[in-house]
Amino acid sequence: MSNAYEIHDLGLTDYRQTYALQKYYVGLVKSARLKGALLFTEHKPIFTFGRSGDRSNMLISEASAGSFGIDILEVDRGGDVTFHGPGQLVTYPIFNLKEHQMDLHRYLREIEEVIIKSLRKSGIPSFRPDGHTGVWTKEGKIASIGIAVSRWISYHGFSVNANVDLRYFDMIHPCGLKDEKITSMCQTQGSKVDMGLLKQEIAGFIQEAFGCILSPPESSSATLAEISNMILNNK
Amino acid sequence: MVDVILPELAEGVDKAVVSFWHYNIGEDIAEGDDLVEMLTDKATFNVPAPAAGKLIKIHAGEGESVQVGDKIAIIEVK
């Protein structure tokens, strides 16, 4: 088994395709063919509902969402509704939590710390209010977390609002929170975020927090798009 | 017979809610397969089957809260 954790920068992806890819990597880690993986992506516009999802937290009709080019999907992570779209960095750590204390809440807190440290590098002070999951600045919520675990292998992950168009969040009660203000790094710092740099910061702090080495795969017989298409077509 | 117990999910977490059962009573299951999905905070946790066999009893239905350490199901080992 390779000792390294694979890191992949998928670019702009369809949510369903990347979900299939996550499950593929969960399978590799479960069968001990891989230590772990970290996927970076930005999604095409989509509202996803977690297991606590309440449809009344979507404030527009499905038809309206469709007319705006927004997909809708119920998914198997924790939490309520959220938005993913271009300009938002989504990170999926596929990690074996048996190697990281087997504690879901500790894992959530470690992810929050990774986000807070990464934002600090950009000069953005942020925090996690007691009793909440996610990361806030004084202007509003800037990052969301929703995870799933199977045989102690994590999937799903977290999203950081970098350059995302915040008007999409007006169409939902994000995470089911009615008066929640949502912000982005771009809005907070007043300039566009360098996504490459943000990924570097996050990858660095993840390595530090989880004691892993992230590296691109040495070779691949199929592209990631081919793998996820193959999985989706076999359903 | 093997009891399926809700394991400790996190420090300070003493219960979780049954999201859904991946298997029905009477169905065969392999050891390690996801048996039931539990919800806690912003996480879903799939409890793996501790042994291969037939699921013969479910103690907690969907939406019910379960304490860590509670029996949640019984598997009849073949």
CA distance A5 to B29: 30
What DSSP state is assigned to residue A151?
T
Termini Cα distance of chain B: 9
* Token pair of A95 as six digits: 């990690």
* pLDDT mean over B33-61: 94
Distance from CA of A191 to the nearest CA of B (A): 31
* Token pair of A118 as six digits: 């990464």
pLDDT recorded at residue A150: 94
Nearest to B44 among A77, A105, A133 (CB): A77
pLDDT digits (tens, 9 = 90+) for A166-198: 999 999 999 888 888 999 999 999 999 999 999
Q: Which residues of B are less than 8 Å from A151 in CB distance?
A: 32, 34, 46, 48
Comparing CA positions, the residue from B71, B72, B73, B36 lying closest to residue B57 is B73
Comparing CA positions, the residue from A65, A96, A104, A77 lying closest to residue A18 is A77
Torsions phi, psi of A32, nearest 5?
60, 25
* pLDDT mean over B24-42: 94
Neighbours of A78 (CB within 10 A): 27
pLDDT recorded at residue A3: 58
* DSSP track, A71-111: EEEE-SSSSSEEEE-TTEEEEEEEEBGGGTTT-HHHHHHHH
CB contact set of A68 (below 8 Å; sequence gap of 6+): A45, A60, A171
Q: Do A104 and B39 touch (CB under 8 A)?
A: no
CA distance A53 to A173: 11
Q: Do A104 and B10 touch (CB under 8 A)?
A: yes
Q: Which residues of A are less than 8 Å from B9 in CB distance?
A: 103-105
B52 within 8 A of B77, measured Cβ to Cβ: yes
pLDDT band, very low/low/confident/very high, at A218 (cuts 50, 70, 90): confident
pLDDT recorded at residue A179: 85
Cα–chain-centroid distance for residue A13? 12
pLDDT band, very low/low/confident/very high, at A2 (cuts 50, 70, 90): low
pLDDT recorded at residue A71: 97
pLDDT recorded at residue A109: 95
Q: Provide the ipTM.
A: 0.88
Better-scored residue on pLDDT, A26 or A4 = A26
pLDDT recorded at residue A94: 97
pLDDT digits (tens, 9 = 90+) for A133-155: 999 999 999 999 999 999 999 99
Instruction: Judge whether residue A228 has pLDDT over 80.
Output: no
